[in-house]
Structure 1
Amino acid sequence: MGLPPADKEERMFVSKLYTDKWTGNTNEENLIEDPNWQQIKTSICELDGKSKTLVSLEADDESYMMIGGGNNGQYIVTATLDHEIFYSLLHPVDYEVAKSDTSVKKINLSIFYQALINTNSNNINFANEKKLVVGGQAGNYSEKICVNLPQCLIASITFAESGELEPLFTWEQDESLVMV
């Protein structure tokens, strides 16, 4: 007994895929109607923070996700489900599963060390920021919202298929993304 034949591809929640392509200060926007996952993945993987800086996944005027950046393997992911409240995907906190007393000490030391770095650098704005180019504009973004490519791809496939924010990730309601 095999799988039923795939007569047609299941329709995604997302109905439009927009990408940018900058030449100097001129943007050549590209639109793909009813994109499939491969087109979405390719567009995100092509982000380079130079000529390709933004991918927008849209379902309607109310619900969309934007993935920007790409320079130095850093991205920002923002989404809204109602065009009123915006969310930013947060960089994951790395925790090991404690299997012994030694690994517990390593985790605690790692947390302490990271807290010390954060405390010392809170007085210096640029230490907690990364410069990314999003939508053709350079900006300084909080390090906590700069995520890696695998995290972008997982968040985007969840949104593209279901219109939901990936529940395994941490999302923060956003006031402003760019630091001034």
Structure 2
Amino acid sequence: MTSPAVLDWDGSDDAGEINAPTWAEVDERLRALNGYDRTILTLTRGDAHLAVGGDAASGLVLYVDLGGEDFRNLIGPRTDKCLVEIVAGGQPGNYQSRQVVSVEQALAAARVFWEAGKLDPAQTWETH
């Protein structure tokens, strides 16, 4: 059995941590990412964690560390090769456009991780 999730997030007014968060708490914090003062959310389950950063309105990047050296990036629908600047964890970075996902795609991946500590099998993942 997977351990309960722990939710961490940044924010100028409300950074914090919740042990065993409800799905509504995860959903609310993820949708609140704005690429300015709320730029990262992390869910931890045992040795694994999911991190999502950026702006819920314009694009997010999401990866899962399944423990040790097993990192997976969530891949979005774009196939072009351009770079997109995303602020995650308070730091701007350039990401391939295919790594930028919608809030709906990020929520679906986060939901499966929150429930079971696993990758969403309905989505495309790339080993990092």
In 1: Cα distance, 2:50 partner to 2:89 partner: 13
Greater fraction of residues in helix: 1
In 2: Cα distance, 1:39 partner to 1:46 partner: 11
Amino acid at match of 2:9: T
Task: Find the counterpart in structure 2 of residue 146 from structure 1.
Answer: 100
**What TM-score does the superposition give when structure 2 sets the normalisation length?**
0.90
Report if aligned partners of 2:56, 2:102 keep a CA contact under 8 Å in 1.
no
Percent of aligned pairs sharing the same letter: 28
In 1: Cα distance, 2:91 partner to 2:38 partner: 11
Larger radius of gyration: 1
Task: Find the counterpart in structure 2 of residue 21 from structure 1.
Answer: 11
In 1: Cα distance, 2:45 partner to 2:25 partner: 15
Structure 1 residue runs of 5 or longer lacking an equivalent are: 1-11, 94-113, 123-127, 175-180
Residue 69 of structure 1: SS of its match in structure 2?
Answer: strand
Deviations 1:6-60 (CA, angstroms, capped at 9, x unpaired): xxxxxx854210000148xxxx741011101000000000000001000000012
Deviations 1:40-82 (CA, angstroms, capped at 9, x unpaired): 000000000001000000012x201001001652001100111
How well do the aligned residues superpose, as a CA RMSD in angstroms? 1.9
Amino acid at match of 1:141: Y
Match of 2:23 among 37, 40, 44: 37
Match of 2:51 among 66, 89, 94: 66
Structure 2 residue runs of 5 or longer lacking an equivalent are: none
Report if aligned partners of 2:32, 2:56 keep a CA contact under 8 Å in 1.
no
Deviations 1:84-136 (CA, angstroms, capped at 9, x unpaired): 1110000036xxxxxxxxxxxxxxxxxxxx7xxx4xxx5xxxxx111111000
Confirm or deny that 1:90 pairs with 2:75.
yes
In 2: Cα distance, 1:156 partner to 1:167 partner: 12
In 2: Cα distance, 1:34 partner to 1:71 partner: 23
Q: How many pairs align? A: 127
**What TM-score does the superposition give when structure 1 sets the normalisation length?**
0.65
Greater fraction of residues in strand: 2
